[in-house]
Amino acid sequence: MKPVPVFCVSALASLSLVGCTIGDGATDAAPTTAEESVAEPAPSETQAPPPTSAPQLEQTRAPETTDVASAERCDTPFIAEAIGEPQNADRLIQFFCDGQWAHVGLEQTGIESFLVWDGGVWTWLESDGHFAGVGLTVDCHLPETVNAHAPVPEEIEEAVYYCGPDDVLY
């Protein structure tokens, strides 16, 4: 999974970046919210240099990713990017998404997966095994694996394949 591009997009989408040009061509980018107004600095004001250390960027970026609205989290391109499949965004099918859980599939493949929003990123619901009596390899899950991410929506409960006694566990 490649969460870094998702974080960058999310951080940029949720902030207004204002670049102020100084006579020597230097710029100062400052995050602002919609409620703030940005005015040109008075000639007597001095501007602080732009942040240059990566830890400062991480500190400002991390909280923004957890604030991604449920609707944005459920955008197919957002999910495709988050799971490292941006090239398949047009083939990704959403069966269900509420911003905490997603049930997605890849068009014309029979591949289906479950995702959980965890700490600001989509993560795969790891399978515990696969069905023994199915021609295709179909992942199955133990109830405790699914319930570890409670509350579990009814749509997920009905769609997830639970491992039975004859199934192959990992």
**What pLDDT is recorded for position 135?**
65
Widest distance between CA atoms in the chain: 77
Residue with tokens 């991480």: 58
Give the sign of the dihedral formed by CA 103, CA 99, CA 119, CA 142.
Answer: negative
Burial of 22 (C-beta count, 10 Å sphere; 0-12/13-18/19+): exposed
**What pLDDT is recorded for position 69?**
84
pTM: 0.58
Whether 102 contacts 74, CB under 8 Å: yes
Please report how many Cα atoms fall inside a 13 Å half-sphere around the Cα of residue 108, on the Cβ side: 3
Domain coordinates of the chain in residue numbers?
Answer: 3-66, 70-169
Q: Which of 132, 130, 100, 129 is nearest to 114 (CA)?
A: 100
Whether 156 contacts 110, CB under 8 Å: no
Whether 146 contacts 152, CB under 8 Å: yes
**What pLDDT is recorded for position 134?**
59
Q: Which of 78, 74, 87 is nearest to 8 (CA)?
A: 78
Tokens linked to 87? 């090239």
Tokens linked to 81? 């990017």
Would you give per-residue pLDDT tens digits along the chain (170 residues)?
333 222 222 222 322 323 333 334 444 444 433 444 444 444 444 444 333 332 222 222 223 345 678 789 999 999 999 999 999 999 999 999 999 999 999 998 888 999 999 888 999 999 999 887 656 678 899 999 999 999 999 999 999 999 988 888 88
**Residue 133 vs residues 57, 128, 150, 167: alpha-carbon distances, Å:** 50, 16, 29, 8
